[in-house]
Amino acid sequence: MSKIALEAREGEASLADARARSARLEVGFRHDPRGYRVLTGDRPTGPLHLGHYFGTLLNRVRLQNLGVETLVLVADYQTIIDRDSPSSLPRDVEELVADYLAVGIDPGRTTIFAQSQVPEIGHLMVPFLSLVSVPELARNPTVKEERAASGLPVASGLLFTYPVHQAADILFCHGNVVPVGEDQLPHLEITRVIARRFNQRYSPHEPFFPEPEALLSDAPRLLGTDGQKMSKSRNNAIAIGATEDQTARLIRAAKTDSGRHITYDPIGRPEVSNLVLLAALCLGREPRDVAEEIGGGGAATLKRVLTEAVNERLRPVRRLRSTLIQDRAGLHEVLMAGTETAKATAAETLKNVRRLMHTVY
């Protein structure tokens, strides 16, 4: 077998493996929620949208409510991977915190914190960088994709070492579960490799870092209103915090096709089916049933049904969000309290890392 075919096979095997491990985690959460620490995060590059809502935010709230300890990292330093840090960052971060709280993330149970305010995370990158090779980083398909998406001709050192930074984000608190999309699996694999090598080198008798598991989402992938990948920068995503009018306008301009009868056929009619799927998710119904009901009503009815479904579903979230956003000091306080908690954890980890690495003088 050729080397490439072999690698493709290994890729499939590891995806199947990751899926199986992810499914086993769900059983574990129910039996022993206290045995897990979930670390997840977002880059504050714009408002969170319905893709985040159905893809990951609802899942975070579910885990929190099951009693699984959860930390949510605002990955502000990772915005400078492919852009300058804008002066709007403090406001962007507050908006992100408002999104979190509005969907039900409870700062009494979940730690929300800002990466840049926890210098120990950066510090951990020094030993971690020594544990991976340049070719290993160069091979990482997620870094390649992120570089292509950034539109930059070459990767900065920070983009190149993104997976190492992410390993520090996860391991500083001994996170052992990371909810991610399949596209992030190569990053997580590097975290696992770093944890394993650190343990082998510095703590061979008792593993110090866990090898975190990916928790893969089973939420169907949503496209933007133009049928392309949903993205904060393409203006094709319905923000959680958008007004009802903005929502209606975006849906009115959504791409459909020339078929008059509405059906659910994700392969043959991706744009129409995506709108049907979004309505179905908001309504808690099966996409096929929603499509059938609209049927001959065509695209106009589909858009009306979808607009109502989104606005109705998000009404309580948006109501809470608009109250929260008026209390900027309160949002700031939530972030600072979470950051204090994260800093205490990080300081403890760094102390132990120094001891294991014989750098205590």
User: Residues interacting with ligand TRP, by CB under 6 A?
Assistant: 39-43, 73, 75, 78, 166, 169-170, 178
The structure tokens 């001959």 sit at: 296
Provide, rounded to whole angstroms, the least separation between the CB of residue 175 and ligand TRP: 8
The structure tokens 């596209």 sit at: 183
Provide, rounded to whole angstroms, the least separation between the CB of residue 170 and ligand TRP: 5
Assess contact for 277 and 305: CB atoms under 8 A. no
- Identity of the residue, 240 or 291, whose beta carbon is nearer to ligand TRP in the bound complex: 240
Secondary structure element (H or E) that encloses residue 345, with its range: helix 328-356
Cα 308 to Cα 230: distance, rounded to the nearest angstrom: 20
Cβ-based neighbour number of residue 354 at 10 Å: 14
- Identity of the residue, 39 or 279, whose beta carbon is nearer to ligand TRP in the bound complex: 39
DSSP 229: B
Among the listed residues 175, 157, 211, the one whose alpha carbon sits nearest the alpha carbon of residue 68: 175
Provide, rounded to whole angstroms, the least separation between the CB of residue 328 and ligand TRP: 24
Provide, rounded to whole angstroms, the least separation between the CB of residue 338 and ligand TRP: 15
Provide, rounded to whole angstroms, the least separation between the CB of residue 75 and ligand TRP: 4
Provide, rounded to whole angstroms, the least separation between the CB of residue 244 and ligand TRP: 28
Cα 95 to Cα 328: distance, rounded to the nearest angstrom: 9
Note every long-range contact of 282-288, with CB atoms under 8 Å and residues 24 or more positions apart, other chains counting. 282/306, 282/309, 282/310, 282/312, 282/313, 283/309, 283/313, 288/264
